[in-house]
Amino acid sequence: MSFITGVGLTSYGKHEGFSSLDLMSKAAALAIADAGLKRSDIDGILCGYSTVAPHIMLATVFAEHFGIRPAYAHAVQVGGATGLAMTMLAHHLVEAGVARHVLVVGGENRLTGQSRDASIVALAQVGHPEYEVPLGPTIPAYYGLVASRYMHEYGVRQEDLAEFAVLMRAHAATHPGAQFREPITVADVMASKPVALPLKLLDCCPVSDGGAAFVVSRERAGGTGVRVRGCAQAHTHQHVTAAPRLSELGAEIAISKAKAASGVAISDVRYAAVYDSFTITLAMLLEDLGLARRGEAAAQVRSGYFGRDGEMPLNTHGGLLSYGHCGVGGAMAHLVETHLQMTERAGKRQVRDASIALLHGDGGVLSSHVSMFLERVR
């Protein structure tokens, strides 16, 4: 058994003068304090990567910087799925008795630490170095390709995708830490600058500075516990050229294995935290996970189903699309928000019932998937 015993999250946006290690440290200190632990209680560290300051041993670089001598430490790299992949590993580590309290941390000064162009170039390298990168694609283009196909097969329109950007912005409006809080409309999304059609600027998450961390422990701390009920991964390809058909992508494989591992059904889920690097990512994943019927996710956004007061509140902090995306920390904010909701500490954003949550992360171009169910125990 494992529990998420503490969470920490910085605001996302500009943190001028803060390094990746600074942002990781800030989030880590918050998470450890939230768990009611001392830094010396931490005996395991899992961290992600920083594109601004790459290092072959980031976990020990961080441990030394932060002042911890853990019994277990290394970095994990699965792109956008890194945060949940680390959580899954931490879950297994504490279950196996390898560590008692694993600190999971990610943070990067991706916005102010390099130019936006440098960031786009660095990220495009997830493409194939010989068969894709020479063609000048960008991450939005990889997802633009997927979007065009998905729209073609399921009759989804650009206006439908725009609904997800509007929803994430509406949620971010109530979170003081979000990078973008001004309300937007479908018309604003449609009129925003073309980036890699069918994706436009407001279909894309921003580049941010920020950090997020949590502690995964063998025993629960304090009153309400947040337990990892079960999780699973699936990896079908790396490059979009080698991706399987839409009906064979990894999200459906991961969720089906996670359901089997946890004994939880989609109908049990009360809160959803789903990776949203682009509007198409969110639309597809909601439908792949079974949170919406094929081609109907946008209609469910319009009906308020995924709103804070709806039946399935989704990314109530604003997601990558509006809270922001600082790399590994980006999707970790989804888990921090889920924890706050499950422990009824989300303030103005609090939903009625977050007793069972489904989290899903995606890395690469829908290449790597992690699905996870969390359960509140009192």
Three-state SS at 342: helix
Minimum CB separation from other proteins for residue 192, in Å?
11
Closer CB to other proteins, 117 or 309, in the complex: 117
Closer CB to other proteins, 193 or 378, in the complex: 193
Cα dihedral: 171, 144, 85, 319 (round 10) = -10
Quote the CA–CA distance of 154 and 296 in Å, as a whole number: 9
Contact 101, 217 (CB under 8 A): yes
Residues in contact with other proteins by the rule CB under 8 A: 117, 120-121, 124, 128, 130-132, 134-138, 140-142, 144-149, 152, 193-199, 239-242
Closer CB to other proteins, 43 or 108, in the complex: 108
Minimum CB separation from other proteins for residue 182, in Å?
21
Minimum CB separation from other proteins for residue 268, in Å?
35
Minimum CB separation from other proteins for residue 221, in Å?
44
Minimum CB separation from other proteins for residue 195, in Å?
5
Q: How many C-alpha atoms does 148 have within 13 Å on its Cβ side?
A: 10
Minimum CB separation from other proteins for residue 104, in Å?
31
Quote the CA–CA distance of 236 and 73 in Å, as a whole number: 27
Instruction: Quickly tell me which residue has 């959580």 as its tokens.
Output: 87
Closer CB to other proteins, 195 or 258, in the complex: 195
Closer CB to other proteins, 237 or 257, in the complex: 237
Closer CB to other proteins, 180 or 278, in the complex: 278
Kindly give, in sequence order, each residue whose CB lies less than 8 Å from that of residue 161, ignoring residues fewer than 6 positions away.
147, 151, 189, 198, 199, 203, 279, 280, 283, 298
Starting at the edge strand that comes first in sequence, how are the strands of the sheet with 44-47 ordered?
Answer: 72-75, 44-47, 101-109, 209-217, 3-9, 225-235, 368-377, 356-363, 271-274
Instruction: Quickly tell me which residue has 């954003």 as its tokens.
Output: 349
Quote the CA–CA distance of 31 and 35 in Å, as a whole number: 6
- Residue 14 in tokens: 């500009």
Closer CB to other proteins, 145 or 255, in the complex: 145
Minimum CB separation from other proteins for residue 146, in Å?
7
